[in-house]
Amino acid sequence: MQLQPGLYRHYKGPEYRVFGVAQHSETQEQQVVYQALYGDFGLWVRPLEMFCERVEVDGKNVPRFALIQAESTLFNRP
């Protein structure tokens, strides 16, 4: 599953910057690395599958995180 780096909005309203997808060293599970764009601007990780899932809000099926604006990746790949 691919995930575009960039600005995302959580279904509850706050915005985040997604840096990319990392791999857990023990489980090999893919984790999204992202930063809150409010408060203390904390860094977070969440399983890719959960980040990309849809949730029900007021009877509507919406993405947990919706892409606002795509950005180039900050990490270079060889």
Domain annotation covers residue 78 = no
**Rounded to whole angstroms, what are the CA distances from 27 to 20, 24, 30, 34, 48?**
18, 6, 9, 20, 13
- What residues form DSSP beta bridges with 49? none
Domain annotation covers residue 39 = yes
Domain annotation covers residue 1 = no
Domain annotation covers residue 77 = no
Domain annotation covers residue 24 = yes
What is the span of the domain harbouring residue 63?
A: 6-70
Total count of domains within the chain: 1
Residue ranges of alpha helices (H) inside 1-78 are 48-51
Domain annotation covers residue 60 = yes
pLDDT in tens, 3-22: 999 999 999 999 999 999 99
pLDDT in tens, 25-70: 999 999 999 999 999 999 999 999 999 999 999 999 999 999 999 9
Q: What CATH number does the domain containing 50 carry?
A: 2.30.30.320
* pTM of the complete model: 0.89
Contact 65, 14 (CB under 8 A): no
